[in-house]
Amino acid sequence: MTKAKSIAAWIIIVILSTIFIFSSIAKIFGFSSQLNDEFAAWNLSDWQLVIGFILLVSTILFLFPVTFKFGVLLLSSYWGGAIAIHLSHDETPLAIVPIIFLILIWISYYMRNPNMFRRSP
């Protein structure tokens, strides 16, 4: 991997991780009344704390090179679930944000592991 590609991957990873950590803290501590209202509308109020911790742990795994692959897997599952929640509640325009996050997670994975699409002999 070239140095420029490595730096670009780290920039994406750090930006995403910062956003995800702030999002998880907002979910854990219930800082946003709008967020709390959304979870109530989705009948997920009881799960808001758990969902916040899942996002936090997944993001921490995503940050470290040793556990990066597990973080990608967990964050892909997390954001896939967010997409499903928005689509199942007829909030199609709101599904754009998790889709963008998911694409950026996959781009960062590809930048760190460009052999992911190569066939093994």
| Amino acid (1-letter code) at residue 41 | A
Q: Residue 78, SS3? A: helix
Per-residue pLDDT of the chain (121 residues; tens, 9 = 90+): 688 888 999 999 999 999 999 999 999 998 888 888 888 999 998 999 999 999 999 999 999 999 999 999 999 999 999 999 999 999 989 899 999 999 999 999 999 887 777 776 6
Half-sphere exposure at residue 72, Cβ-oriented, CA atoms within 13 angstroms: 19
The 10 Å Cβ neighbour count of residue 56 is 17
CA distance 93 to 21: 23
